[in-house]
Chain A
């Protein structure tokens, strides 16, 4: 059996970590780099480049250099995210089967999960080189707010990369694992908030940690808020300044805009340590007389903060919402953990401190903390598969005192001793079905522990209705438009009868990865269908 690793498959960068000799550490390549850019390039020679070398090609061949696919994976062609992304991504997308977007490069098309699989393969190879053996299993992390389709697509990417996906783990939970929190005395509880400002998304997650169990209390997020959006603010600033200095408008040139984009990220990073950054552009383009166009621009931290403040404020709004949904106050929490490179920005830290009334924990690198947690979980899961490496089960079963019902077993099974804490996750979004009146009827409520299942009875709405279609939605709104259509499932061959007389049992089952299985059953005929859900074209 090969090694198992933890992989933080990010919008901008991917990080791989493993437990070596009992310690979780991030693995770095020959050049000492720990971050693998989540970028895949298709150069003219027909090959595939991944990582740093692919990212370099953004500056020269933007059309065939694919990045930020995490923003799109598992989303429908018609979704707001994809529609928006098409306006600013320099590479081509087109609609493929089942209404899913495809990447187009040099006349070839790729599924989004195939692009992610290239990145995961790179991570796998890096780990194999460092660990000196096969790597065949992984825990891959996703934002807590990822829906079912996004998780399933991420899992597919893992399989395509030749990895057995042990678990799709939520990023904030991984962060808490990395901090080793929850290792308190038995019975004691610790509550933490994880502020995760990634490349593409923002999430706030509230966790209850006891010595052996991590429970997610609630989560809220904004899928249009991330480090990339902060870069775009700087791009806009640079673009305006270039126009002012040279009368050349970079917006007309995809390639120049990509250069601004990659430089903007560097400027943002530098501004976390310095008050101002000067950047010089040469050969942006040529004037009519053949002279090269260039500009030197000074960006001040204060002006960046002024631009960034509304975005950061939005993240604080999400924090407020998460606390309200979980019915908790700021005083109910201990540590605030930071995840994502953008949490290095001084403005972000100040706002967090103001809101939570305490400084956030910064002792672990916010770029690495998720991968480390994933590695710890991967290690715990494979240990459990190989009990000869595990610790003995020692605790005897606690017996229920004064059990009232003689039909119940007289004892409980023992509590397993495990290498890491047990994670009890929740579903971040309510799952429901469309009703005749055009509303969404919840079947599994937001923040329910997984795995779980729920069966609801639905009746026919028309006389003589021979088939029933179950349309599955995910989201918090009451009306259809506010929710994401996950797919639909039809059961036919129903007895022809008056409306309301025929009943169909619809069962939703969520597994520990948060992936949904829907089945419908006609109790009269025992006919049943269970879904491979298709993502709808339009909602």
Chain B
């Protein structure tokens, strides 16, 4: 049943079970009022209600993704990208250039929150951290938490070549980068192991090696 009390619009599919949605000609004269009422304002209403309900929405609900359940890992990378693209089509401000000001602002607010959600969900480690917060009832990851988690990563150099400090390790690091770029994880692992032997205390190298091993394990 549709919950009228909540003042939210019905699902479009229920309001119009089989009819295709008419063309969105909103600039025509009032004679065409039916078309106006049926299409655009309904979507506008939905945008406004999403903006209002924003603080009740967790990141997964916002992107229309199913939450992880017992024994299931939750959505994978591809599903998250697809969900964000669909979300972007629904709420990106470009789609509301012709809408009234309040609707434009509402879409912007929803999109910004969606961008925040995507920022967290598309990063494997942030995603896991967020699931734990969600279990504890927290819907949003605070900017401090995101930044804190990222700061840990930020210190990590992007390439092995940047990570090493000695000339002895440099050739192995360069080769590891080349192999990583070429997508050969096994060869990259070997080179990283060799570089690590030259610089056993280099945490950045160790982290890269762990990362490569994790990616190899995920593959098999």
Q: Give A contacts to B, CB under 8 Å.
A: 187, 189, 208, 210, 212-213, 215, 320-321, 323-325, 329-332, 355, 357, 381, 384-388, 390, 392-394, 396-416, 418, 422-424, 441-443, 445, 448-457, 478, 509, 512
Contacts and interface: CB of A to CB of B under 8 A. Distances in A.
Contacts of B118: 449
Contact of B90 (A386, A414, A424): A414
Contact of B116 (A385, A404, A416, A454): A454
B25 interface: yes
A396 B18 CA distance: 10
Given A403-B61, A409-B50, A416 B158 contact: no
A408 B88 contact: no
Given A396-B16, A397-B12, A399-B13, A387 B159 contact: no
Contacts of A422: 88-89, 92, 94-95
Contacts of A441: 147
A449 to B, nearest CB: 4
Interface string B25-62: 11110000000000110011011011001001110010
Contacts of B92: 422, 424, 512
Contacts of B111: 451
A422 B43 CA distance: 18
Interface in B79-111: 81-82, 84-86, 88-95, 97-98, 108, 111
Nearest to B159: A324
Contacts of B155: 478
Nearest to A213: B85
A119 to B, nearest CB: 27
Interface size range on B against A: 35 or more
A456 B95 CA distance: 29
Given A412-B46, A448-B115, A213 B89 contact: yes
A398 B119 CA distance: 23
Contacts of B71: none
Given A215-B85, A410-B10, A329 B183 contact: yes
A396 B39 CA distance: 10
Nearest to B103: A413
B88 A413 contact: no
B61 A404 contact: yes
Contact of A210 (B47, B82, B181): B82
Contacts of B201: none
B88 A411 contact: no
A69 B50 CA distance: 45
B154 A402 contact: no
A400 B180 CA distance: 39
Contacts of A212: 85, 89
